[in-house]
Amino acid sequence: MVNLLASSLNQAGEQVYLGLFNADGASCAQVVREADQHQIPVWNLRCRGRWDWRAVHDLANFLKINHIDVLHTHGYKANIYGFLGARLAGCAIVATCHNWTKRTAALQKYAALDQIFLRWFDTVIAVSQGIVTELRHNRVKRIRVIANGIDVAKFQGSGNHSKPNQPVVIGCLSRLSKEKGVDVLLWALPRILDRYPNLHCCVAGEGPERERLEVLATKLGVADSFHMPGFCDDTADFLKLCTVVAQPSRMEAMPLAILEAMAAGKAIVASAVGEIPRLLEDGHAGLLVPPDSPEKLAEAILTLLQDEALRQSLERRAAQKAASQFDVATMTAEYQKVYRTVTSGHQHVRHLTRADRMDMQV
């Protein structure tokens, strides 16, 4: 989403830099590769450990030297470092809040600290109403709602092209983590295979639950039909292979995977959490099931596989909604409005001291 927004802003005539913590590390490789493809300059913010005051100083100098008007941050660490750096540099700061998973005690503490810092941001973007509620509960006031966007054109034409003897594929684009509920899909799979023994279920993504999911697939006797190929570079190509897309999450904000499946014209079964019911129009653009319910998930998937007319109706409705409401151009225009608003009240520091310049050369 960050790369897509940066590329779209660039095409709209804005000067964009993508700053990453330790951009030369393996965890950033995919993001850097995509940025290079879109000709977005990447700046490597070296951060030595959990807290590094020098990184704040380096960030502030970078913002000054490059005459940055707005720093736009994503995630609690970027928000905290970004806030301090932006205030030292005198530029505006905006954050987008996608969600706080709070899987561990440490993540819960980081989320609480993040929400304290967000009270002082110029604007905080929430991608869902659930995030708005949490932000307001934590006394964050300057909030705007901007829906996630996707490159709709990239996914159009990915609809089902059935061929004789083509295998039925249940697809899922998901991080392999507990909140994404991939295990729920696994528990549903035996019942689905009873009706469609040649069916394949493919989950594209990576994460800490991989080993546990592999063990569960073997325990349930579905390992031959359940595939986890890893991180997916081209989700449009992956979706072309899918007959039905499942999103069995236990919690969500506004999942890009659902938007991509909608744009690709796919029949979707998803948990009724976060913004998903709104995206799927309470069942008119995709089927909704309760979270943590393998029986209901299996029933809904079987319904779509058995009812071609219903499946095609949902596919058309989902594709129409994605194109009309969630294209990246719409998202980009909304962010540009925010940037203009927050910069109008800021006096920027345009000159560096000689000492600052020497620091940047170290």
Q: Which amino acid is at 81?
A: Y
Q: Which two tokens stand for residue 101?
A: 């998973």
H helical segments located in the chain = 2-11, 29-37, 53-65, 76-89, 105-118, 129-137, 152-155, 182-195, 210-219, 235-240, 256-263, 276-279, 294-306, 308-325, 328-343, 354-361
Buried b / exposed e along 236-265 (16+ C-beta atoms within 10 A):
bebbbebbbbbbbbebbbbbbbbbbbbbbb
Neighbours of 106 (CB within 10 A): 9
pTM over 0.75: yes
Contacts for 109 with CB less than 8 Å, ≥ 6 apart:
none
Q: 194-243: per-residue pLDDT in tens? A: 999 999 999 999 999 999 999 999 999 999 999 999 999 899 999 999 99
Burial class of residue 87, CB neighbours in 10 A (0-12, 13-18, 19+):
middle
Phi, psi of 73 (to 5 degrees): -110, 155
Q: 244-255: per-residue pLDDT in tens? A: 999 999 999 889
Neighbours of 10 (CB within 10 A): 17
Q: What is the pLDDT of residue 331?
A: 95
Q: What is the pLDDT of residue 157?
A: 73
Burial class of residue 141, CB neighbours in 10 A (0-12, 13-18, 19+):
exposed
Low-confidence ranges of the chain (pLDDT < 70): 158-165, 345-362
Give me the DSSP letters along 251-288. Answer: S-SS-HHHHHHHHTT-EEEEES-TTHHHHTGGGTSSEE
